[in-house]
Structure 1
Amino acid sequence: MKEKSEDFLWNERGNNLVRRFEKMRKEGTFRFMDVSDYEEVINTYMDKGQLEKAGQTIKLALHQHPGALTIRLRKADLLVSLEKYEKALELLNLLAHLDSQNYEVFLLRGLALIHLGRKNEAIRDFDTSLSLGDEMSGDIAYQIGNELEIAGMYEEALIYMIKAYEENPDDVLVLLDMGLIYQQLGMNDDALRVYRDFLEEEPFDVTAWGNLGRLYLRMERYEEALEAFEYLLAIQDNNPEGLFYKGRTLMQMERFREAEEEFRIYVSQSPHDVEGMINLGICYRQTGEYGRALSWYKMAVEESPDNPLPYFLIAKVYSLRNKWEDAEIYCRKALDRDHEDDEFWYLLYHIYKHTGTLRKQIEVMDTLTALVPDNASYWLEYLLLLYDLPGKREFEGTLKRALKHLPSAAELYYLQGIVRFQEGKYAEGEENFLRAWSYDPGKIDWFLEKFPHILQIPEAQECIQQLKIK
């Protein structure tokens, strides 16, 4: 309580100084102020994100106190905040000579160096800052960890966060940051551990329950995720995050009726949230209530007309209802907004299988395989589409392109082997089957079901029997 009271009084002092300073500016009477008072005004502006006012104050302070190192340090801080890292570094290099025992000089220089991509030098400065600010090393380590996390340097950030917690074990909030960093590093078990440790100390913290629940959801541990979100909602009834992620968890568990209830409450609280509308629509679609699904998807379109996803989902519902013209219209609208989503193109191909010409189907599959050249399923579907065309020129050219992108795709070699056996090129057919078998022996059964007549070719039948004996 004492620390909070001191913080309050300190903030009040800063606010009072700012009011006094702004009154002087308004009246145009700039009286002399102590360096410490200027510092407090600058810090207050910086804390409030009023960087332009902070800069003006620094300029005036340096006019009155040209040799004040603390004001120069605030200027360096401002330059870092303004992302003027080269200028900040130039000033901080000077300050490092003039004030070599000030931990903040090296902390700020480390931040500037990080943003300039000079990682090793930055870490060296951070460690110097820690050694100089011994009494504040926990707070300094925490600040460094945060900055490294923002910079995406998660392994380094974790080292400093662990140090921050070791220095201040009573500051359990550090555990939440550690948990997020562990997640970024894919160390999910460690993240679970620190979240549980935190919740032992703070069992009613909704943020921690939310973090824990989302992690369980990501790990596909749905029962535990559901339990975490239910705890969250027990602490804070109708918490939007709890409702949303409980709904998502129930969807993953295929409990769509229960998920509907969560999302209905969620969208009543967040009536403009497009994700909520979409998820509620998906729940209705999964339970066969296509009319309601369409209503929610169309509301999402009204709310966010540039978002391609609702158009795509509307197209899917129309395709389920065999309303192919409507499905094509909305699928095209989705593609107008995102021309590179392969799911959109595949749905259009599916629609054209029912309504379009063979040439339209080929055009879509040609686009799709160019867009996602490493997807063997798309290539196989494209090749099967071309398989029955007169002549094999288009088929062979497409197969050649597919193998260039996927030289180890078993399904492509099985298909090529079938074609070669049919052409009477038995040695090539056997070579392709052997190669396909070496990549994935299990896929041969699918091809035998798809092309049962291949077993009527004695050479092919013998080759398959020999493979299965192996």
Structure 2
Amino acid sequence: MALDPSENPDKSIIKFESMLKTDDVYFFDAEDFEEIIHYYLNQGKVGLGKKAIQIGLQQHPHSAELKLLKVEVLVFEDQFQKAEGILDQLQEVDATNEEIYIQRANILSKQDNHQGAIQMLLEALHMASDSFDIYSLLGMEHLFLENYEEAKQCFMKCVEYDETDYSSLYNVVYCFEFLEDFEGAIHYLNDYLERNPYCEVAWHQLGKMYCSKEMYQEALTTFDFAIISDDSFLGAYFEKGRVLENLGKHNEAIECYETTISMDDPTSHAYLRIGKCHEKLGNDELAKYYYYNTVHEDPLLDKGWLAITEYYFRLKDYKKALNYINKAINIDGENPMYWKKNAEIFSILENYDEADFAYKQTVELGNYELDTWKNWASILIKLKDYESALQVVLQGLEFYPEDAKLNYQLPGLYLKTENTPLAKEKLGLALQLNPGKSVLFLQLYPEFEKLKWVQESIKTNKKAST
């Protein structure tokens, strides 16, 4: 049986290390060697574990358990061929040893053959008297294959075997979440809590499921039960705070977050939530204080810099807002929302070249929101880059083919690029799609208001619509 990494070395390990230092040779039972090897492997001291395996096999050359431990190390080091050779030898001697199949499954899993690993684990399951660990491994292999229903059933069996196996309980809930079966998760957790009414982990997970369904009052009750079950459970206080925020009870939410800070080292996430609450309460100076504490606690928390950005943006201090959104971008330059905020600020500051670049980054990183296309096109029009604006509007229309503003922007841009036939065609289409919003065209392009064909198109459309 493997020792816990926190356990102190026992007499066997002290004796073994003494032997290594003195070059004396001491005899150990095979079980002693297993204990020594497990201790070193759990401590991450693989070199000493390998040394113990070597000496152990010299003293007990026929020990299947020691050979299996050698296989475990070989697999860890990706020496699959050597490991398979030992497993073949062991299987010739004892084909009913489930550990052989478990190690073969481990090899297949590391080679990304998860279906093969599942087959090996099923073989092991037929031979095992204790199937708990095997079901846990099966569950993980099914997760690799995104077979969430099968994984869920495996982890449920683990929980049936040991209701304090919280790792498996978390995995069951994870599977329910991924399947978007929140009702199923709620039913499962309530059933579990009937048998384990003081399990703070289950109450906590149940509360999160209620939050997913926006059942905030029920969530609040479950987080309270989690706290009753364990009044030092920080996660329950934090989630309760989030629920109270959703219910508009910001002062009570602050109390929950402050509890987490008083019970343990303060976290940037707690400071951030307190700042958000104070901002909602109109306590601007306190909000700013906690936002700055957020980034002081964790300078790499980009959400903290974003919160400060939004704070100054709301106060119309755009230069400070720009400074802080750039800090967020420096931390996570792959976040399109940061680039979008960057573009918005540059636009207000009338730095249109930088705004154009930022919108380009926004779209390249996958933000295709309607206002992104509209605002980017408007920036390019201000830069008099009508060809680029035309391409942006055409891309936007691929996502929002019936949007009025984009449809009325298009004919004007064709006019700007001297393509009158397409301008006429697209204005006619815009008037068909959104007949009551022809004023948009005139607002966007007042310079074309006096064109005869424009006046006739709009006039004809108005007659047709009445």
Q: Give TM class, smaller chain.
A: 0.7 to 0.9
Aligned 8 A contact 1:188 1:215 in 2: yes
1:69 aligns with 2:64: yes
Alpha-carbon separation, structure 1, partners of 2:104 and 2:30: 22
- Report whether the alignment pairs 1:186 with 2:184: no
Q: Give the aligned residue type for 1:400.
A: Q
Match of 1:323 in 2: 317
Higher alpha-carbon deviation: 16-25 or 413-422:
413-422
Q: Is the 8 A contact 2:336 2:366 kept in 1?
A: yes
Equivalent residues in 2 for 1:366-405 (5 A)? 366-372=360-366, 374-387=368-381, 394-404=385-395
Determine whether 1:292 maps to 2:290: no
Question: Match for 1:371: what amino acid?
Answer: L
In the alignment, the residues of structure 2 paired with residue 81 and residue 150 of structure 1 have an alpha-carbon distance, to the nearest angstrom, of: 19
Judge conservation of contact 1:243–1:263 (CA < 8 Å) in 2. yes
Shift of 1:24: 3.4
SS at match of 2:131: helix
Seq. identity, %: 23
Distance 2:411 2:54 in 1: 81
Residue of structure 2 equivalent to 1:3:
none
Taking structure 1 as reference, are residues 386 and 172 closer, same or farther at Cα in structure 2, changes over 3 Å only? closer
Preserved CA contact (<8 Å) 2:204 2:222: yes
Match of 1:43 in 2: 38
Matching residue within 234, 237, 242 for 2:228 = 234
Query: Matched residue pairs, number?
Result: 448
Contact kept in structure 2, 1:365 and 1:382, CA below 8 Å: yes
Match for residue 115 of structure 2 among 115, 120, 125: 120
Identify if the C-alpha distance between structure 1 residues 191 and 16 changes in structure 2 by more than 3 Å, giving closer, same or farther. Answer: farther
Would you say the 8 A contact 1:301–1:307 is kept in 2?
yes
| RMSD, matched Cα | 3.6
Render the CA deviation track for 1:120-149: whole Å, top value 9, x for unaligned. 32111111101111x223443234325654
Q: Which runs of 5+ in 1 are unaligned?
A: 1-5
Pair 1:295–1:195, CA change in 2 (3 A): same
* Structure 2 unpaired stretches of 5+: none
**Which moved further from structure 2: 407-416 or 100-109?**
407-416
TM-score, normalising length: structure 1? 0.82
Contact 2:208 2:219 in 1 (8 A): yes
Which stretch shifts more, 401-410 or 322-331? 401-410
User: How much has 1:104 moved relative to structure 2?
Assistant: 0.8
Deviation, 1:170, is 6.9
Task: Give distance in 2, aligned partners of 1:162 and 1:104.
Answer: 22
For 1:234-266, what per-residue CA distance to the aligned partner results, in whole angstroms no more than 9, with x for missing partners? 222252111111112222333322212211222
> Corresponding residue for 2:344?
350
**Which of 448, 451, 457 matches 1:459?**
457
Matches within 5 A, 1:188-207: 188-207=182-201
Counterpart for residue 242 of structure 2: 248
Tell me, what secondary structure is at the counterpart of 2:106? helix
- For 2:75 and 2:69, the matched residues in 1 are separated by 10
1:107 to 85, 102, 110: 102
Report the counterpart of residue 425 of structure 2 in structure 1. 427
Does structure 2 retain, via aligned residues, the 8 Å contact 1:195–1:208?
yes
Structure 1 contact 192–212 (Cα < 8 Å) conserved: yes
By how many angstroms is 1:339 displaced? Answer: 2.5
2:406 alignment partner, one of 400, 409, 415: 415
Note the C-alpha offset of 1:105.
0.6
1:56 Cα deviation from its structure 2 partner: 1.4
> Counterpart of 2:407 in structure 1: which amino acid?
Q
Other structure's SS at 2:126 match = helix
Q: Deviations over 1:68-123 (max 9, x none)?
A: 32211111123334555554344334433343110111012112211211123211
Q: Greater CA deviation, 317-326 or 15-24?
A: 15-24
Find the counterpart in structure 1 of residue 206 from structure 2: 212
**Which residue matches 1:338?**
332
CA distance in 1, matches of 2:185, 2:355: 47
The separation in 1 between residues aligned to 2:348 and 2:396, in whole angstroms, is: 29
Q: Is the CA contact 1:247–1:260 (under 8 Å) kept in the aligned structure 2?
A: yes
Amino acid at match of 2:372: Y
Over 3 Å counting, the alpha-carbon distance change for 1:308 and 1:47 in structure 2 is: closer
